[in-house]
Amino acid sequence: MKLYYKAGACSLASHIALEEAGIPYALEAVDLEAKKTESGGDFLAVNPKGYIPALVIDDGAVLTEGVAILLRIAAMAPEKGLAPAVGTQDYMKLLEWLVFIATELHKPAGIQFNPAMPEDGKTALKTVLGRRLDYLDKALGKGPFLMGERITVADFYLFTVFSWLPRLKIDTAAWPHVAAHFERIKVRPATQAVLKAEGLA
């Protein structure tokens, strides 16, 4: 199992999930500009879409798209309960959260790191992001995790995206429940180990 990643980027969620799942894995960093891997390989040969995360499963199959990778990792360690049983109402709820994070938080936040994004575009995206976080803050008030008492891979994804906000000059004080959730995930031993491994501790 090998995770292609970039420190602090969206692959951080998959990295935390692997660590929480207790699955043995290797890491390879990717230079996303040059599309080169740490060992000098052509990253486009791994993922022709050119983005991380990409997970190489032990049979050599390559899985891309963060949501798919997170669900795959959870399925590989069912005893950890990082996702409910497939097909159940709770599983659908988890999927709802994962899609919400991917489309309503990850993309509007992540695109603001693009140097070509004009300031007024960033402002518009920040407004949309703020509305989504307002909703999330109310939903998380019931906490402690997105799925209530149970921690799931969606929590690692939310942690990852929320970690970008200070770098985007977004004041997180408006969302105290999301900020408390962030701290809850941050102090977990698996998260701490991953942050250290990615040079972010």
Ligand X SMILES: N[C@@H](CCC(=O)N[C@@H](CS)C(=O)NCC(=O)O)C(=O)O
Residues of this chain that interact with ligand X (CB under 6 A) are 9-10, 32, 50-53, 65-66, 102, 110
For the purposes of burial, counting CB atoms within 10 Å of the CB of 6, is it exposed (0-12), middle (13-18) or buried (19 or more)?
Answer: middle
Nearer to ligand X, 23 or 44 (CB): 44
- CA distance linking residue 89 with residue 34, whole number of Å: 42
Question: 143: which residues sit within 8 A by CB, 6+ positions away?
Answer: 177, 180, 181
Please, what is the minimum distance in Å from the beta carbon of residue 48 to ligand X? 12
35 vs 177 by CB, closer to ligand X: 35
For residue 92, the one-letter residue type is M
CB 50 to ligand X: min, Å: 5
Nearer to ligand X, 3 or 102 (CB): 102
Measured from the CB atom, the residue of 32 and 86 that comes closer to ligand X is 32
Could you tell me the smallest distance in angstroms from the CB atom of residue 6 to ligand X? 6
Q: Is the separation of the CB atoms in 178 and 162 below 8 Å? A: yes
- Which residue minimizes CB distance to ligand X? 51
